[in-house]
Amino acid sequence: MVGTFYVIFACLLWGMDTLIRYPLVESGTNPITIVFYEHCILALIFSVGLLPNLRRIGELKLADIFSFLVIGCLGSAIATVAFTESFRYLNPSLVILLQKLQPVVAIGLAAVVLKEELQKQFVVWAGVCLFGGLLVSSPDIERFYGLLVSDFGAVTSDVALRGYGLVGVSILGWGATTVFGKRLSLVGFETRSIMGGRFLLGLVALVPFVQFDRALILPRGEDYLRILIMVIISGALAMWLYYQGLRRLSAKTTAVAEMFFPFFAIIVNWIFLGKELSQLQLIGGAILIFGSFVIQIKKY
């Protein structure tokens, strides 16, 4: 249960991220610029954790190097850029809705890569949690249905297909990050080393996407402080909690616990931004909590 609480608390901190990130984007700041600054700070903080393990670089196996490339380049950088870019081609509600497939990808990869057994009971209760997560996103489902009825072409056009591809990259990247992060933990890498490698490689992979001109200068001086606060809360602290939980849980169970992120995001918006939850969303949250609780008790 301890590992689950670590991941759930990390999800709560990720949910608070929206209080800073979205206002920055809405004010005109390039999302990639925000992600770049995040990785600069996080790489600086956690690269210190790599120093005691420099001697192990020559001992790294190809599988270890591949795992670090997955969590750093694919998961931390490319997936984030792809997710951000997908909003240019798809309705935001559809992007968020499709993102609910991420736990499914992570659970499938865990079975293939880590050979984690998928018991029938686990699949059933994971499905219950996914159903609860979909109910939490019921407003997005309603908006998507409205889009299907009013403008079906917008969902099937070439532009939309490009958006689906980008969302697919983000789903695969973040799902794979859970699995290969767990693999690194299983072969003996400490949390600080995993995080250091993730953010350092993520920073390197972000460089081709960044415009090194005046676009890197934030419009307001206080925005730098906002990003620093966001990095400390939803970056450094949340990721540390997440990897502490991942050490204690299987990748498939971690993927289920990650479903709490969208639930906490709407809770935060309800409390701080006055965006009330519908009864359907509250029911979905209750189902998600119950299903996750059963998985932890039964230790599937």
Quick one: what percent of the chain has pLDDT higher than 70?
91
CA-wise closest residue to 205 among 44, 36, 41: 36
The predicted pLDDT at position 74 comes to: 94
Task: For 180-228, write each residue's pLDDT tens digit.
Answer: 999 999 988 888 888 888 999 999 999 988 877 676 777 788 889 999 9
Q: How confident is the model at residue 68 (pLDDT cuts 50, 70, 90)?
A: very high
Token duo for residue 162: 């490009």
Q: Report domain extents, the chain.
A: 2-298
pLDDT at 248 over 80: yes
CA-wise closest residue to 181 among 233, 115, 251: 251
